[in-house]
């Protein structure tokens, strides 16, 4: 493949985490590197007129913690429609069911204008390879809730939240809502810069019953789901459900699997005639072997089918020996000059990696060397999420809404490290990161109605105890035991023999809000209010390995982010019944994130205490102003929606190198100013009964607006002024067609993404691509005890397109190339049968 198809490659440069994604592959010093009302229609849904008041304007969660909607906020949703109002889009359960059961629920957002979701595996279990943007904002810059519980950061291995895929079984999600404006002031979030995602789980049914789903697919994919609903148990109205799901899939390039299982439970208890208590609980255990990280260099010299060694330990063992003997960065041993037939001086035999007696083709020609692919790499995450929600009507005008919640997260993220030998004598080891977090908090709010005013005032508090440490564990000498697996256990050959660092923090978040929804006229509503946000984090490194980082004096100390007045104003006007015109203006702030040295863009991720001390006095949290103007036309046969937006971003942070060529240090750089503007337009046509055709087009333009110089890894300082944001396309086109006839439904959808810049200086890029998916469903009806028997067949990536999905998982380069993107899934087929009882 020619380099020009991906843009020129001037050479390797410093990786930069522009998106804030967590780095997994940290490079030890001295090693080669470690990869361092109105409704917008979607296909197939019949028109359902209903008053709609969603998140942004008197939201469905009311204030912080509201778990049940006001009667005038209900949204009647059938079929496959996106039901929209103002700057918000509600995705109905019927549309989610077009996805393969068990798929990460975030994928169901991919047809919403301005949203870009992709993943390396078809089901999205491997969150290392998952990627979500909403109008230029990455998944760690959105406000996200589940049944009113703040989920916060959705990115991989973060220390401030949980991916929704690990917080609820996808089959139990009833609906989801995307705010493409700035999001509501009452939504609890310390990550919201660019909009909000809200998810709600299905309530237990009034009648006893349940559902069973079984699916199969390519690469040994299996999906099992079982749900039991108790029905109403007593005169007070008590009811509950409990559900279990299990997902398994192997890589399309190797037998290493992804596995996830989870349990959901929900109980609803009416409190007399005036209130309801709802309890929710989820347990999730996800185990994923990752695909190898790629670079332009690897694609050109090794190819698209680059794979990890697992279960070929002998190959990984030889690759590590090759690294230590032949790929040292200095003059190689004399026996290493023979190319593919290079002799291993330890054994006297040619290096045998994946093929018989040969190094994999092209490995010697890459800058990554033994880092092209590892023995294994992946993660295991165990999450518990639970909450209690109270919705109590105090009198005819006043409601009290509260949520108590907790979240515990334990993770192990690993890779077989050919750059660190084991004390057993093996030339490789297992490098293991161990992130931990425990979050507890509550939201409480009062909803008061007075004449034409609907007033909501509330408070949110959360405490998060966070920790992360990084270790190396022994692998066995070849032939003297089984190798470790990425999901553990890791101490088979003794405890960790080395530690890179240890960090521990405590973060407290406080948010208060007041908002008023004022119905000026029957056709004109003004919503205005503000939130106050304060977050303090204390702690940092308690251990640093000077042999790894050159210093044991890693960052430790406190940082505070505060803003007492973050306003939000929304105006919604219906000049005629079919027309909706709206304006949304808001300011948001994202407090400083927590990450260890070598991790995401965080004050604690720098390489020394002195740098951190300087940041304590100079660094400002990220803030932005968003201005949005939108219009929507709705009729039984045509729905057209369009809006334009402008965002002024202050203090966007980048992780970059400062200092001299001989003494570069990792720091966090304040880019001061960036601007973003864009527009979306969508049209849904229903020409005949049962047929729906949907199209949308999105444009986004993000540029760095201040002269900011950062080091490129070659000792040069480059000005990023005027460059376009990396990782997100300027243009997106989405199309979908759906046809329903009696019990038969067929759908096809297509996504086009224009080229995405890979380097911050825009001298390398990833080309555009089309991705097409399709499926059919047939509902057989009822058979004796079995109800609504349904069969589905879906094809993912119908054209078998070669494309890059996730970008920037290890950060983005300032210039040139870097091992920091992953291939999207190949064509896969899935079949599912389900029944209710």
Query: How many angstroms separate the CA atoms of 439 and 437, rounded?
Result: 6
Per-residue pLDDT at 712: 77
pLDDT digits (tens, 9 = 90+) for 247-274: 999 999 889 999 999 999 999 999 998 9
Per-residue pLDDT at 75: 29
pLDDT digits (tens, 9 = 90+) for 690-727: 999 999 999 999 999 999 988 877 778 889 999 999 99
pLDDT digits (tens, 9 = 90+) for 742-776: 999 999 999 999 999 999 999 999 999 999 999 99
- Give the containing element (helix H, strand E) for 627: strand 622-634
Written as six digits, the tokens of 242 are 């409990």
Is 561 exposed, middle or buried, given 0-12, 13-18 or 19+ CB atoms closer than 10 A? buried
Which three-class secondary structure state does DSSP give residue 184? coil
Query: How many angstroms separate the CA atoms of 647 and 253, rounded?
Result: 41
Give me the residues of the chain with pLDDT under 50, please: 1-81, 330-331, 333-334, 337-340, 354-357, 660-663
Which three-class secondary structure state does DSSP give residue 357? coil
Residue 38: which residues within 8 A CB-CB, separation 6 or more?
A: 52, 84, 85, 574, 578, 580, 632, 634, 639
Query: How many angstroms separate the CA atoms of 777 and 794, rounded?
Result: 9
Per-residue pLDDT at 350: 54
CA 619 to chain CA centroid, Å, is 26
Residue identified by tokens 């069911």 is 97
Query: How many angstroms separate the CA atoms of 497 and 493, rounded?
Result: 10
Q: Which of 831, 784, 788, 790 is nearest to 205 (CA)?
A: 788
Per-residue pLDDT at 349: 58
Query: What is the pTM (predicted TM-score) of this model?
Result: 0.88
**Dihedral of CA 747/797/292/480: which sign?**
positive
Query: Residue 96 in contact with residue 783, Cβ under 8 Å?
Result: no
Q: Which of 658, 775, 781 is nearest to 708 (CA)?
A: 658
């Amino acid at each position: 493949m020619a380099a020009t198809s991906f843009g020129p490659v001037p050479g390797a440069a410093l990786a930069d985490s522009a998106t804030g994604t967590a780095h997994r592959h940290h490079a030890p010093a001295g090693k080669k590197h470690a990869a361092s009302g109105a409704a917008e229609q979607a296909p197939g849904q019949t028109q359902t007129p209903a008053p709609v008041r969603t998140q942004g304007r008197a939201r469905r969660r009311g204030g912080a913690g509201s778990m049940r909607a006001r009667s005038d906020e209900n949204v009647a949703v059938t079929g496959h429609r996106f039901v929209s109002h103002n700057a918000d889009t509600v995705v109905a359960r019927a549309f989610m069911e077009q996805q393969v059961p068990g798929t990460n629920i975030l994928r169901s957002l991919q047809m919403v204008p301005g949203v870009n979701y992709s993943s390396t595996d078809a089901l999205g279990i491997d969150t290392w390879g998952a990627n979500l943007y909403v109008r230029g904002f990455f998944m760690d810059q959105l406000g996200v809730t589940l049944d009113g519980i703040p989920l916060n950061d959705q990115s991989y291995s973060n220390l401030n939240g949980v991916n929704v895929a690990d917080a609820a079984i996808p089959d139990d999600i009833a609906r989801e809502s995307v705010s493409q404006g700035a999001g509501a002031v009452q939504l609890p979030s310390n990550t919201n810069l660019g909009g909000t995602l809200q998810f709600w789980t299905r309530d237990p049914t009034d009648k006893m019953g349940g559902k069973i789903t079984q699916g199969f697919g390519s690469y040994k994919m299996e999906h099992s789901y079982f749900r039991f609903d108790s029905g109403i148990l007593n005169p007070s109205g008590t009811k509950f459900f409990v559900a279990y799901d299990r997902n398994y899939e192997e890589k399309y390039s190797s037998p290493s699997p992804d596995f996830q299982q989870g349990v959901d439970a929900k109980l609803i208890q009416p409190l007399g005639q005036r209130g309801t208590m709802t309890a929710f609980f989820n347990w999730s255990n996800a185990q994923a072997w990752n695909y190898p990280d790629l670079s332009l260099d690897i694609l050109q010299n090794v190819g698209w089918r680059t794979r990890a060694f697992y279960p070929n330990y002998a190959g990984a063992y030889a690759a590590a020996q090759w690294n230590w003997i032949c790929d040292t960065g200095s003059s190689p041993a004399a026996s290493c000059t023979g190319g593919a037939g290079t002799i291993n001086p330890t054994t006297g035999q040619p290096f045998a990696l994946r093929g018989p007696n040969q190094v994999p083709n092209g490995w010697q020609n890459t800058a990554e060397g033994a880092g092209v692919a590892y023995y294994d790499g992946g993660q295991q995450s165990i999450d518990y999420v639970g909450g209690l929600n109270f919705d109590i009507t105090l009198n005819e005008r006043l409601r009290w809404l509260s949520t108590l919640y907790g979240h515990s997260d334990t993770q192990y993220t690993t890779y077989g490290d050919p750059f660190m030998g084991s004390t057993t004598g093996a030339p490789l080891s297992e490098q293991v990161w161990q992130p931990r977090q425990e979050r507890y908090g509550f939201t409480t709010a009062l909803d008061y109605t007075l004449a034409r005013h609907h007033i909501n005032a509330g408070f949110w508090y959360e405490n998060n105890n966070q920790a992360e440490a990084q270790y190396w564990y022994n692998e066995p000498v070849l032939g003297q035991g089984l190798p470790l697996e990425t999901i553990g256990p890791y101490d088979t050959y003794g405890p960790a023999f080395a530690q890179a660092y240890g960090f521990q923090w405590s973060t407290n978040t406080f948010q208060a809000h007041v908002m008023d929804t004022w119905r000026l006229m029957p056709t004109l509503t003004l919503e205005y209010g503000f939130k106050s946000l304060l977050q303090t984090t204390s702690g940092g490194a308690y251990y640093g390995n000077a042999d790894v980082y050159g210093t044991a004096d890693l960052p430790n100390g406190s940082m505070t982010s505060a803003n007492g007045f973050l306003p939000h104003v929304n105006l919604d006007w219906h000049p005629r019944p079919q027309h909706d015109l709206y304006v949304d203006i808001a300011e948001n702030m994202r407090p400083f994130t927590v990450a260890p040295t070598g991790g995401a863009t965080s004050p604690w991720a720098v390489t020394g205490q002195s740098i951190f001390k300087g940041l304590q006095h100079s660094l400002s949290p990220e803030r932005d102003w968003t201005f949005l103007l939108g219009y929507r036309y709705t009729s039984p046969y045509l729905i057209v929606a369009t809006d334009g937006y402008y965002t002024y971003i202050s203090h966007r942070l980048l992780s970059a190198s400062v200092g001299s060529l001989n003494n570069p240090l990792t720091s966090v750089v304040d880019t001061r100013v960036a601007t973003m503007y864009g527009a979306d337009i969508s049209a849904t046509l229903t020409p005949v009964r049962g047929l729906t055709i949907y199209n949308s087009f999105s444009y986004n333009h993000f540029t760095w607006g201040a002269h900011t110089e950062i080091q490129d890894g070659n000792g040069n300082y480059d000005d990023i002024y005027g460059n376009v944001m990396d990782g997100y396309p300027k243009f997106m086109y989405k199309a979908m067609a759906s046809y329903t006839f009696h019990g038969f439904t067929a759908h096809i959808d297509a996504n086009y993404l224009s080229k995405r810049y890979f380097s911050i200086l825009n001298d390398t890029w990833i080309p555009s691509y089309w991705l097409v998916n399709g499926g059919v469903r047939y509902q057989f009806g009822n058979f004796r005890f079995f109800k609504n028997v349904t069969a589905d067949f879906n094809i993912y990536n119908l054209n078998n397109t070669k494309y890059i999905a996730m970008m920037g998982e290890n950060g983005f380069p300032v210039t040139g190339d870097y091992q920091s993107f992953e291939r999207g899934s190949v064509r896969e087929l899935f079949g599912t049968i389900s029944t209710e009882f």
